[in-house]
Structure 1
Amino acid sequence: MEPYYSEDGIRIYHGDCRDVIPRLDVEQFDLVLTDPPYSGRTHDGARTNREGDRQRPFIKFASMTGAEVASVFELCAVRLRSWLISFVDWRHMLLLESTPPSGLRFVRFGIWDKPNGTPQISGDRPAMGWEAIAILHRQGGRMVWNGGGHRAVWSSLRESNVVHRTQKPLRLIKQLAAEFTQPGDLILDPFMGSGTTLRAAKDVGCRAIGIELDERYCEAAANRLRQGVLF
Protein backbone atom coordinates (compact mmCIF):
# COMPACT_ATOMS: atom_id res chain seq x y z
CA MET A 1 0.00 0.00 0.00
CA GLU A 2 1.59 3.24 -1.17
CA PRO A 3 1.24 6.37 0.97
CA TYR A 4 -0.12 9.59 -0.48
CA TYR A 5 2.78 11.41 1.23
CA SER A 6 5.85 10.17 3.07
CA GLU A 7 8.73 12.19 4.46
CA ASP A 8 10.77 12.34 7.69
CA GLY A 9 8.73 9.71 9.53
CA ILE A 10 5.35 11.21 8.60
CA ARG A 11 2.98 9.32 6.28
CA ILE A 12 -0.44 10.11 4.82
CA TYR A 13 -2.80 7.51 3.39
CA HIS A 14 -5.83 8.39 1.27
CA GLY A 15 -8.74 6.09 2.00
CA ASP A 16 -11.24 4.84 4.57
CA CYS A 17 -9.44 4.22 7.87
CA ARG A 18 -11.40 0.99 8.35
CA ASP A 19 -9.73 -0.38 5.23
CA VAL A 20 -6.30 1.19 5.74
CA ILE A 21 -5.55 0.46 9.42
CA PRO A 22 -5.37 -3.36 9.06
CA ARG A 23 -2.98 -2.96 6.13
CA LEU A 24 -0.45 -0.64 7.80
CA ASP A 25 3.06 -2.08 8.04
CA VAL A 26 3.67 -1.13 11.68
CA GLU A 27 3.67 -3.28 14.79
CA GLN A 28 2.33 -0.74 17.30
CA PHE A 29 1.10 2.82 17.69
CA ASP A 30 2.23 4.70 20.79
CA LEU A 31 -0.71 7.12 20.68
CA VAL A 32 -3.94 7.54 18.75
CA LEU A 33 -4.82 11.25 18.64
CA THR A 34 -7.83 11.99 16.50
CA ASP A 35 -11.11 13.82 15.86
CA PRO A 36 -13.80 11.64 14.21
CA PRO A 37 -17.07 13.02 12.83
CA TYR A 38 -19.73 13.77 15.42
CA SER A 39 -23.33 12.56 15.57
CA GLY A 40 -25.98 13.41 12.99
CA ARG A 41 -27.79 15.54 15.55
CA THR A 42 -24.70 17.66 16.17
CA HIS A 43 -23.97 18.02 12.44
CA ASP A 44 -27.57 19.04 11.73
CA GLY A 45 -27.53 21.58 14.54
CA ALA A 46 -24.35 23.29 13.33
CA ARG A 47 -25.56 26.26 11.26
CA THR A 48 -23.96 29.51 10.16
CA ASN A 49 -24.59 32.69 8.15
CA ARG A 50 -28.26 33.53 8.13
CA GLU A 51 -29.82 33.76 4.67
CA GLY A 52 -33.08 35.51 5.37
CA ASP A 53 -34.85 33.11 7.71
CA ARG A 54 -32.61 30.20 6.73
CA GLN A 55 -29.18 29.10 7.86
CA ARG A 56 -26.61 27.09 5.91
CA PRO A 57 -25.15 23.83 7.27
CA PHE A 58 -21.69 24.39 8.75
CA ILE A 59 -20.59 20.73 8.45
CA LYS A 60 -21.08 19.01 5.12
CA PHE A 61 -19.18 15.72 5.57
CA ALA A 62 -20.95 12.60 6.84
CA SER A 63 -21.67 12.09 10.52
CA MET A 64 -20.90 8.89 12.44
CA THR A 65 -22.78 6.99 15.12
CA GLY A 66 -21.15 6.17 18.43
CA ALA A 67 -21.02 2.52 17.43
CA GLU A 68 -19.18 3.39 14.20
CA VAL A 69 -16.62 5.46 16.10
CA ALA A 70 -16.15 2.65 18.64
CA SER A 71 -15.55 0.14 15.84
CA VAL A 72 -12.69 2.25 14.48
CA PHE A 73 -11.23 2.58 17.97
CA GLU A 74 -11.32 -1.21 18.30
CA LEU A 75 -9.26 -1.50 15.11
CA CYS A 76 -6.74 0.93 16.57
CA ALA A 77 -6.62 -0.91 19.91
CA VAL A 78 -5.28 -4.09 18.29
CA ARG A 79 -1.85 -2.47 17.91
CA LEU A 80 -2.04 0.32 20.47
CA ARG A 81 0.72 0.60 23.07
CA SER A 82 -0.85 3.14 25.43
CA TRP A 83 -3.26 6.08 25.00
CA LEU A 84 -6.18 6.89 22.71
CA ILE A 85 -7.15 10.57 22.92
CA SER A 86 -10.08 11.71 20.83
CA PHE A 87 -12.29 14.74 20.47
CA VAL A 88 -15.81 13.30 20.44
CA ASP A 89 -19.46 14.26 20.41
CA TRP A 90 -20.58 14.22 24.04
CA ARG A 91 -23.29 11.75 23.00
CA HIS A 92 -20.57 9.40 21.77
CA MET A 93 -18.71 9.92 25.04
CA LEU A 94 -21.58 8.34 26.97
CA LEU A 95 -21.30 5.16 24.91
CA LEU A 96 -17.51 5.04 25.16
CA GLU A 97 -17.74 5.29 28.95
CA SER A 98 -20.56 2.79 29.45
CA THR A 99 -19.32 0.30 26.84
CA PRO A 100 -15.61 0.87 26.09
CA PRO A 101 -14.38 -0.48 22.74
CA SER A 102 -12.79 -3.91 22.90
CA GLY A 103 -9.16 -3.70 24.02
CA LEU A 104 -9.57 -0.28 25.68
CA ARG A 105 -10.55 1.08 29.07
CA PHE A 106 -12.24 4.42 29.57
CA VAL A 107 -10.10 6.65 31.83
CA ARG A 108 -11.45 10.19 31.85
CA PHE A 109 -13.90 12.66 30.32
CA GLY A 110 -11.77 15.63 29.24
CA ILE A 111 -12.74 19.10 28.05
CA TRP A 112 -11.48 21.54 25.42
CA ASP A 113 -12.52 24.95 26.75
CA LYS A 114 -12.99 27.44 23.87
CA PRO A 115 -12.78 31.02 25.22
CA ASN A 116 -13.68 32.41 21.77
CA GLY A 117 -16.27 29.77 20.94
CA THR A 118 -19.13 30.55 18.58
CA PRO A 119 -21.96 32.45 20.32
CA GLN A 120 -25.47 31.02 20.34
CA ILE A 121 -27.00 32.28 17.05
CA SER A 122 -30.56 32.32 18.37
CA GLY A 123 -29.56 34.27 21.48
CA ASP A 124 -32.20 32.46 23.52
CA ARG A 125 -29.85 30.14 25.46
CA PRO A 126 -26.20 29.86 26.55
CA ALA A 127 -23.69 28.84 23.89
CA MET A 128 -21.81 25.54 24.16
CA GLY A 129 -18.24 26.84 24.58
CA TRP A 130 -16.50 23.44 24.93
CA GLU A 131 -15.93 20.10 23.28
CA ALA A 132 -15.49 16.68 24.86
CA ILE A 133 -12.18 14.80 24.82
CA ALA A 134 -12.34 11.04 25.42
CA ILE A 135 -9.30 9.69 27.24
CA LEU A 136 -8.86 5.93 26.91
CA HIS A 137 -5.95 3.55 27.46
CA ARG A 138 -5.25 0.05 26.25
CA GLN A 139 -6.28 -2.67 28.64
CA GLY A 140 -3.61 -4.17 30.84
CA GLY A 141 -0.96 -1.47 30.48
CA ARG A 142 0.39 0.96 33.04
CA MET A 143 -0.76 4.55 32.49
CA VAL A 144 2.10 7.05 32.09
CA TRP A 145 1.95 10.62 30.78
CA ASN A 146 3.93 13.87 31.00
CA GLY A 147 1.19 16.10 32.42
CA GLY A 148 1.72 15.44 36.12
CA GLY A 149 -1.33 16.63 38.03
CA HIS A 150 -2.73 18.70 35.16
CA ARG A 151 -6.54 18.62 35.04
CA ALA A 152 -8.21 17.08 32.00
CA VAL A 153 -9.21 20.57 30.86
CA TRP A 154 -7.33 22.22 28.02
CA SER A 155 -8.10 25.84 27.17
CA SER A 156 -7.20 27.08 23.70
CA LEU A 157 -8.58 29.69 21.33
CA ARG A 158 -10.23 28.54 18.12
CA GLU A 159 -8.20 29.41 15.02
CA SER A 160 -9.80 31.65 12.40
CA ASN A 161 -7.60 30.80 9.41
CA VAL A 162 -8.48 27.13 8.92
CA VAL A 163 -8.56 24.68 6.01
CA HIS A 164 -11.08 22.21 7.49
CA ARG A 165 -14.45 23.11 9.02
CA THR A 166 -13.73 21.32 12.30
CA GLN A 167 -9.97 21.92 12.42
CA LYS A 168 -8.55 21.97 15.94
CA PRO A 169 -5.93 24.54 17.07
CA LEU A 170 -2.35 23.45 16.39
CA ARG A 171 -1.28 24.76 19.80
CA LEU A 172 -3.82 22.51 21.52
CA ILE A 173 -2.90 19.40 19.53
CA LYS A 174 0.81 19.99 20.12
CA GLN A 175 0.15 20.16 23.87
CA LEU A 176 -1.78 16.88 23.81
CA ALA A 177 0.88 15.21 21.67
CA ALA A 178 3.66 16.35 24.00
CA GLU A 179 1.81 15.24 27.14
CA PHE A 180 0.97 11.75 25.91
CA THR A 181 4.14 10.77 24.00
CA GLN A 182 7.91 10.65 24.11
CA PRO A 183 10.11 11.93 21.25
CA GLY A 184 10.27 9.38 18.46
CA ASP A 185 6.91 7.78 19.32
CA LEU A 186 4.45 6.89 16.56
CA ILE A 187 1.09 8.73 16.53
CA LEU A 188 -1.89 7.55 14.48
CA ASP A 189 -4.72 9.82 13.35
CA PRO A 190 -7.36 7.76 11.49
CA PHE A 191 -9.49 10.88 10.82
CA MET A 192 -6.71 13.20 9.72
CA GLY A 193 -8.63 16.10 8.16
CA SER A 194 -6.21 18.89 7.31
CA GLY A 195 -3.32 17.19 9.13
CA THR A 196 -3.12 19.10 12.41
CA THR A 197 -2.14 15.97 14.37
CA LEU A 198 0.63 15.19 11.88
CA ARG A 199 1.84 18.78 11.92
CA ALA A 200 1.90 18.67 15.74
CA ALA A 201 3.74 15.34 15.74
CA LYS A 202 6.44 16.75 13.47
CA ASP A 203 6.84 19.79 15.71
CA VAL A 204 7.26 17.72 18.93
CA GLY A 205 9.64 15.19 17.38
CA CYS A 206 7.29 12.26 16.83
CA ARG A 207 6.55 10.05 13.84
CA ALA A 208 2.97 9.95 12.60
CA ILE A 209 0.50 8.28 10.27
CA GLY A 210 -2.62 10.06 9.07
CA ILE A 211 -5.56 8.58 7.15
CA GLU A 212 -8.10 10.73 5.32
CA LEU A 213 -11.06 9.90 3.09
CA ASP A 214 -11.17 13.24 1.23
CA GLU A 215 -8.21 13.71 -1.11
CA ARG A 216 -8.48 17.50 -0.89
CA TYR A 217 -7.44 17.34 2.74
CA CYS A 218 -4.66 14.86 2.03
CA GLU A 219 -3.13 17.50 -0.23
CA ALA A 220 -3.74 20.27 2.30
CA ALA A 221 -2.05 18.21 5.02
CA ALA A 222 0.91 17.42 2.77
CA ASN A 223 1.38 21.14 2.10
CA ARG A 224 1.35 21.90 5.84
CA LEU A 225 3.95 19.21 6.46
CA ARG A 226 6.28 20.63 3.81
CA GLN A 227 6.70 23.74 5.96
CA GLY A 228 9.46 23.95 8.56
CA VAL A 229 8.94 23.09 12.22
CA LEU A 230 6.64 25.61 13.89
CA PHE A 231 7.52 26.78 17.40
Structure 2
Amino acid sequence: MTDTLDLPLTPPPGGEVLYQSDRCTLIWGDCTDPAVIASVPNHYGLLCTDPPYGVNFRSNIGRNFDLLAGDDGSVDWAVVLGSWARRLATHRHVYVFGYTPAELTEPLQLGPTAELVWDKLMTGMGDLSQPWGPGHERLVFGVSSANPAHGGTARKGMLAARMRQGSVLRVPRKNATAVTRHPTEKPVALMSQLIESSSVRGDLVVDPCAGSGSTLVAAILEGRRAFGVEIDRKYAELAVTRIKAAEKIAAAIEAA
Protein backbone atom coordinates (compact mmCIF):
# COMPACT_ATOMS: atom_id res chain seq x y z
CA MET A 1 0.00 0.00 0.00
CA THR A 2 1.31 3.43 -0.97
CA ASP A 3 2.51 5.70 1.83
CA THR A 4 -0.07 8.48 1.70
CA LEU A 5 2.01 10.87 3.85
CA ASP A 6 3.94 12.05 0.80
CA LEU A 7 0.86 12.39 -1.41
CA PRO A 8 -1.44 15.40 -1.93
CA LEU A 9 -4.67 15.22 0.06
CA THR A 10 -6.87 16.89 -2.56
CA PRO A 11 -7.49 15.07 -5.83
CA PRO A 12 -6.71 16.92 -9.06
CA PRO A 13 -9.50 18.29 -11.28
CA GLY A 14 -10.93 15.41 -13.24
CA GLY A 15 -9.56 12.93 -10.71
CA GLU A 16 -6.73 10.44 -11.00
CA VAL A 17 -7.05 6.80 -11.96
CA LEU A 18 -5.53 4.88 -9.06
CA TYR A 19 -6.33 1.46 -10.42
CA GLN A 20 -7.63 0.02 -13.66
CA SER A 21 -8.11 -3.52 -14.90
CA ASP A 22 -10.57 -5.49 -17.00
CA ARG A 23 -12.69 -5.90 -13.90
CA CYS A 24 -12.48 -2.57 -12.11
CA THR A 25 -11.62 1.12 -12.37
CA LEU A 26 -11.10 3.24 -9.26
CA ILE A 27 -10.67 6.99 -9.48
CA TRP A 28 -9.29 9.14 -6.70
CA GLY A 29 -11.44 12.17 -7.25
CA ASP A 30 -14.40 14.33 -6.30
CA CYS A 31 -17.63 12.74 -7.49
CA THR A 32 -19.25 16.19 -7.70
CA ASP A 33 -16.69 17.18 -10.38
CA PRO A 34 -18.41 17.20 -13.81
CA ALA A 35 -15.21 15.88 -15.42
CA VAL A 36 -15.23 12.89 -13.06
CA ILE A 37 -18.92 12.25 -13.74
CA ALA A 38 -18.22 12.37 -17.48
CA SER A 39 -15.59 9.63 -17.10
CA VAL A 40 -18.15 6.92 -16.27
CA PRO A 41 -19.32 5.03 -19.36
CA ASN A 42 -22.81 5.84 -20.61
CA HIS A 43 -25.69 3.36 -20.15
CA TYR A 44 -23.99 1.42 -17.36
CA GLY A 45 -25.90 -1.27 -15.49
CA LEU A 46 -26.36 -0.39 -11.81
CA LEU A 47 -25.88 2.63 -9.51
CA CYS A 48 -25.23 1.46 -5.95
CA THR A 49 -23.83 3.88 -3.39
CA ASP A 50 -23.70 5.02 0.23
CA PRO A 51 -23.19 8.80 0.11
CA PRO A 52 -22.50 10.99 3.16
CA TYR A 53 -25.77 11.90 4.84
CA GLY A 54 -24.91 15.49 5.75
CA VAL A 55 -24.79 14.77 9.47
CA ASN A 56 -21.11 15.52 10.20
CA PHE A 57 -20.52 11.87 11.03
CA ARG A 58 -17.58 11.18 13.28
CA SER A 59 -17.05 7.73 14.70
CA ASN A 60 -16.68 7.40 18.45
CA ILE A 61 -15.00 4.03 18.05
CA GLY A 62 -11.71 4.85 19.70
CA ARG A 63 -11.75 8.17 17.83
CA ASN A 64 -10.01 6.40 14.97
CA PHE A 65 -11.83 8.11 12.12
CA ASP A 66 -11.91 11.68 10.90
CA LEU A 67 -14.98 13.52 9.67
CA LEU A 68 -16.20 12.07 6.38
CA ALA A 69 -15.55 14.27 3.35
CA GLY A 70 -18.74 15.87 2.06
CA ASP A 71 -20.67 15.15 5.26
CA ASP A 72 -20.95 18.76 6.46
CA GLY A 73 -24.29 19.42 4.79
CA SER A 74 -22.78 21.60 2.05
CA VAL A 75 -23.40 19.08 -0.74
CA ASP A 76 -26.84 18.36 -2.17
CA TRP A 77 -26.24 14.67 -2.70
CA ALA A 78 -29.59 14.07 -4.36
CA VAL A 79 -28.65 16.54 -7.12
CA VAL A 80 -25.14 15.08 -7.46
CA LEU A 81 -26.45 11.53 -7.74
CA GLY A 82 -28.97 12.76 -10.30
CA SER A 83 -26.03 13.59 -12.56
CA TRP A 84 -24.69 10.06 -12.13
CA ALA A 85 -28.13 8.53 -12.70
CA ARG A 86 -28.45 10.32 -16.03
CA ARG A 87 -25.62 8.15 -17.37
CA LEU A 88 -27.35 4.96 -16.21
CA ALA A 89 -29.23 2.90 -18.80
CA THR A 90 -32.94 3.54 -18.57
CA HIS A 91 -35.03 0.99 -16.68
CA ARG A 92 -31.96 -0.12 -14.73
CA HIS A 93 -31.69 0.01 -10.97
CA VAL A 94 -30.48 2.39 -8.29
CA TYR A 95 -29.69 1.76 -4.62
CA VAL A 96 -28.87 4.70 -2.33
CA PHE A 97 -28.38 4.40 1.42
CA GLY A 98 -29.65 6.97 3.93
CA TYR A 99 -32.51 8.54 1.97
CA THR A 100 -36.22 8.09 1.30
CA PRO A 101 -37.91 7.62 -2.09
CA ALA A 102 -39.53 11.06 -1.76
CA GLU A 103 -36.08 12.68 -1.51
CA LEU A 104 -34.63 10.96 -4.57
CA THR A 105 -37.46 10.30 -7.03
CA GLU A 106 -37.37 13.69 -8.75
CA PRO A 107 -33.63 14.49 -8.76
CA LEU A 108 -32.66 10.98 -9.90
CA GLN A 109 -35.67 10.74 -12.27
CA LEU A 110 -36.82 7.44 -10.85
CA GLY A 111 -39.87 5.50 -11.90
CA PRO A 112 -40.94 2.75 -9.48
CA THR A 113 -39.29 2.99 -6.05
CA ALA A 114 -39.29 1.15 -2.74
CA GLU A 115 -37.85 1.85 0.69
CA LEU A 116 -35.73 -1.05 1.92
CA VAL A 117 -34.42 -1.68 5.41
CA TRP A 118 -31.03 -3.13 6.28
CA ASP A 119 -31.49 -5.03 9.55
CA LYS A 120 -28.01 -5.06 11.10
CA LEU A 121 -28.93 -7.84 13.53
CA MET A 122 -27.41 -5.88 16.41
CA THR A 123 -27.96 -2.58 18.16
CA GLY A 124 -25.70 0.36 17.47
CA MET A 125 -24.60 3.11 19.84
CA GLY A 126 -26.74 5.99 18.61
CA ASP A 127 -27.89 8.55 21.16
CA LEU A 128 -27.11 6.96 24.51
CA SER A 129 -29.62 9.25 26.26
CA GLN A 130 -32.46 7.48 24.41
CA PRO A 131 -33.97 4.09 25.38
CA TRP A 132 -33.75 2.84 21.78
CA GLY A 133 -30.58 2.14 19.85
CA PRO A 134 -30.40 2.01 16.04
CA GLY A 135 -30.46 -1.50 14.65
CA HIS A 136 -31.25 -0.73 11.04
CA GLU A 137 -30.47 1.56 8.13
CA ARG A 138 -32.78 2.56 5.31
CA LEU A 139 -32.02 2.61 1.61
CA VAL A 140 -33.89 3.48 -1.55
CA PHE A 141 -34.43 1.15 -4.48
CA GLY A 142 -35.45 2.81 -7.74
CA VAL A 143 -35.81 2.14 -11.43
CA SER A 144 -34.22 4.78 -13.64
CA SER A 145 -36.26 6.63 -16.22
CA ALA A 146 -33.64 9.37 -16.65
CA ASN A 147 -32.55 8.88 -20.24
CA PRO A 148 -34.51 6.64 -22.61
CA ALA A 149 -31.88 7.30 -25.30
CA HIS A 150 -29.45 5.15 -23.32
CA GLY A 151 -31.52 2.07 -23.97
CA GLY A 152 -31.94 -0.77 -21.49
CA THR A 153 -34.07 -3.77 -20.79
CA ALA A 154 -37.62 -3.67 -22.09
CA ARG A 155 -38.76 -5.28 -18.87
CA LYS A 156 -38.82 -1.85 -17.19
CA GLY A 157 -36.73 -2.70 -14.17
CA MET A 158 -37.67 -6.36 -13.84
CA LEU A 159 -34.07 -7.51 -13.95
CA ALA A 160 -33.74 -9.35 -10.64
CA ALA A 161 -31.51 -12.42 -10.75
CA ARG A 162 -33.16 -13.60 -7.54
CA MET A 163 -36.82 -14.43 -6.99
CA ARG A 164 -38.92 -11.53 -5.68
CA GLN A 165 -37.98 -10.92 -2.05
CA GLY A 166 -38.95 -8.88 0.98
CA SER A 167 -37.93 -5.31 1.79
CA VAL A 168 -35.91 -6.21 4.91
CA LEU A 169 -32.31 -7.28 4.28
CA ARG A 170 -30.89 -9.15 7.26
CA VAL A 171 -27.10 -9.04 7.16
CA PRO A 172 -25.00 -8.61 10.33
CA ARG A 173 -22.77 -5.59 10.53
CA LYS A 174 -19.37 -5.73 12.16
CA ASN A 175 -19.29 -5.09 15.88
CA ALA A 176 -17.59 -1.93 17.09
CA THR A 177 -14.16 -3.41 17.69
CA ALA A 178 -14.08 -4.93 14.19
CA VAL A 179 -14.76 -1.61 12.44
CA THR A 180 -11.21 -0.66 11.46
CA ARG A 181 -11.28 0.28 7.77
CA HIS A 182 -14.08 2.84 7.38
CA PRO A 183 -16.65 4.16 9.88
CA THR A 184 -19.67 3.42 7.65
CA GLU A 185 -18.32 0.39 5.78
CA LYS A 186 -21.07 -1.84 4.41
CA PRO A 187 -20.74 -5.65 4.55
CA VAL A 188 -19.74 -7.23 1.26
CA ALA A 189 -22.53 -9.79 1.80
CA LEU A 190 -25.10 -6.98 1.86
CA MET A 191 -23.77 -5.31 -1.28
CA SER A 192 -23.56 -8.69 -3.04
CA GLN A 193 -27.25 -9.25 -2.37
CA LEU A 194 -28.18 -5.90 -3.96
CA ILE A 195 -25.88 -6.44 -6.94
CA GLU A 196 -27.08 -9.98 -7.59
CA SER A 197 -30.69 -8.84 -7.39
CA SER A 198 -30.35 -5.97 -9.85
CA SER A 199 -27.71 -6.85 -12.45
CA VAL A 200 -26.37 -9.68 -14.54
CA ARG A 201 -22.85 -10.98 -14.98
CA GLY A 202 -20.70 -8.59 -16.98
CA ASP A 203 -22.76 -5.52 -16.07
CA LEU A 204 -20.95 -2.38 -14.93
CA VAL A 205 -21.72 -1.48 -11.29
CA VAL A 206 -20.97 2.14 -10.36
CA ASP A 207 -20.32 3.60 -6.90
CA PRO A 208 -19.42 7.32 -6.87
CA CYS A 209 -18.87 7.29 -3.08
CA ALA A 210 -16.75 4.15 -2.90
CA GLY A 211 -15.26 4.52 0.59
CA SER A 212 -13.12 1.49 1.34
CA GLY A 213 -14.52 -0.37 -1.66
CA SER A 214 -17.17 -2.82 -0.42
CA THR A 215 -19.46 -2.26 -3.42
CA LEU A 216 -16.59 -2.70 -5.86
CA VAL A 217 -15.38 -5.87 -4.13
CA ALA A 218 -18.89 -7.32 -4.13
CA ALA A 219 -19.33 -6.53 -7.83
CA ILE A 220 -16.07 -8.28 -8.73
CA LEU A 221 -16.94 -11.35 -6.68
CA GLU A 222 -20.38 -11.49 -8.34
CA GLY A 223 -18.84 -11.52 -11.82
CA ARG A 224 -19.68 -7.91 -12.64
CA ARG A 225 -17.39 -5.06 -13.60
CA ALA A 226 -16.94 -2.14 -11.22
CA PHE A 227 -16.33 1.61 -11.46
CA GLY A 228 -15.78 3.67 -8.31
CA VAL A 229 -14.78 7.12 -7.16
CA GLU A 230 -13.40 8.05 -3.72
CA ILE A 231 -12.27 11.50 -2.60
CA ASP A 232 -10.31 10.45 0.51
CA ARG A 233 -6.88 9.21 -0.58
CA LYS A 234 -6.36 6.78 2.29
CA TYR A 235 -9.71 5.10 1.69
CA ALA A 236 -9.06 5.00 -2.04
CA GLU A 237 -5.69 3.28 -1.46
CA LEU A 238 -7.36 0.80 0.89
CA ALA A 239 -10.02 0.10 -1.72
CA VAL A 240 -7.32 -0.70 -4.28
CA THR A 241 -5.84 -3.29 -1.93
CA ARG A 242 -9.24 -4.89 -1.42
CA ILE A 243 -10.04 -4.79 -5.15
CA LYS A 244 -6.81 -6.62 -6.03
CA ALA A 245 -7.57 -9.31 -3.46
CA ALA A 246 -11.10 -9.73 -4.81
CA GLU A 247 -9.80 -10.01 -8.35
CA LYS A 248 -7.47 -12.83 -7.35
CA ILE A 249 -10.40 -14.68 -5.78
CA ALA A 250 -12.60 -14.11 -8.83
CA ALA A 251 -9.85 -15.31 -11.16
CA ALA A 252 -9.31 -18.44 -9.08
CA ILE A 253 -13.03 -19.21 -9.13
CA GLU A 254 -13.19 -18.78 -12.90
CA ALA A 255 -10.16 -21.01 -13.37
CA ALA A 256 -11.49 -23.80 -11.16
Shorter-chain TM-score tier: 0.7 to 0.9
Which structure 2 residue ranges, 5 or more long, are not aligned?
Answer: 1-13, 149-153
CA change 1:210–1:106 in 2 (3 A) is: same
1:190 Cα deviation (Å)? 0.3
How do 1:156-171 residues align onto structure 2 when only pairs under 5 Å count?
Answer: 156-159=171-174, 160-171=178-189
CA change 1:214–1:100 in 2 (3 A) is: same
- Is 1:86 the counterpart of 2:104? The answer is no
Q: Which residue of 1 aligns with 2:203?
A: 185
Q: Which residue of 2 aligns with 1:7?
A: 21
Q: Which residue of 1 aligns with 2:43?
A: 28
Q: Secondary structure at the match of 2:27?
A: strand
- Is 1:134 the counterpart of 2:140? The answer is yes
CA contact (8 A) 1:112 1:154 kept: yes
Q: Secondary structure at the match of 1:199?
A: helix
Equivalent residue for 1:96, pick from 91, 97, 103: 103
Alpha-carbon distance in structure 1 between the residues aligned to 2:39 and 2:112: 25
CA contact (8 A) 1:16 1:211 kept: yes
- Residue deviations 1:102-148 (CA, integer Å, cap 9, x gap): 43235101000011231456264111110011111111660112232
Alpha-carbon distance in structure 2 between the residues aligned to 1:115 and 1:94: 24
Alpha-carbon distance in structure 2 between the residues aligned to 1:48 and 1:67: 23
The letter of the residue matching 1:168 is: K
Which structure 1 residue ranges, 5 or more long, are not aligned?
Answer: 51-55
Alpha-carbon distance in structure 1 between the residues aligned to 2:173 and 2:133: 15
- Residue deviations 1:50-74 (CA, integer Å, cap 9, x gap): 9xxxxx6976114165971111221
1:86 Cα deviation (Å)? 1.2
Q: Secondary structure at the match of 1:221?
A: helix
How do 1:19-98 residues align onto structure 2 when only pairs under 5 Å count?
Answer: 19=33, 20-24=35-39, 26-40=41-55, 43=56, 48=60, 60-61=67-68, 62-63=70-71, 65=73, 68-81=76-89, 82-88=92-98, 92-93=99-100, 95-96=102-103
Q: Which one has a larger percent strand, Structure 1 or Structure 2? A: 1
CA change 1:124–1:3 in 2 (3 A) is: closer
- Residue deviations 1:126-184 (CA, integer Å, cap 9, x gap): 11110011111111660112232201211111122441110001111111111111000
Q: Which residue of 1 aligns with 2:249?
A: 229
Q: Which residue of 1 aligns with 2:9?
A: none
Normalised to the residue count of structure 2, the TM-score between the two structures is: 0.76
1:49 Cα deviation (Å)? 5.9
Q: Which residue of 1 aligns with 2:215?
A: 197
Alpha-carbon distance in structure 1 between the residues aligned to 2:61 and 2:144: 42
CA change 1:151–1:170 in 2 (3 A) is: same
- Is 1:109 the counterpart of 2:115? The answer is yes
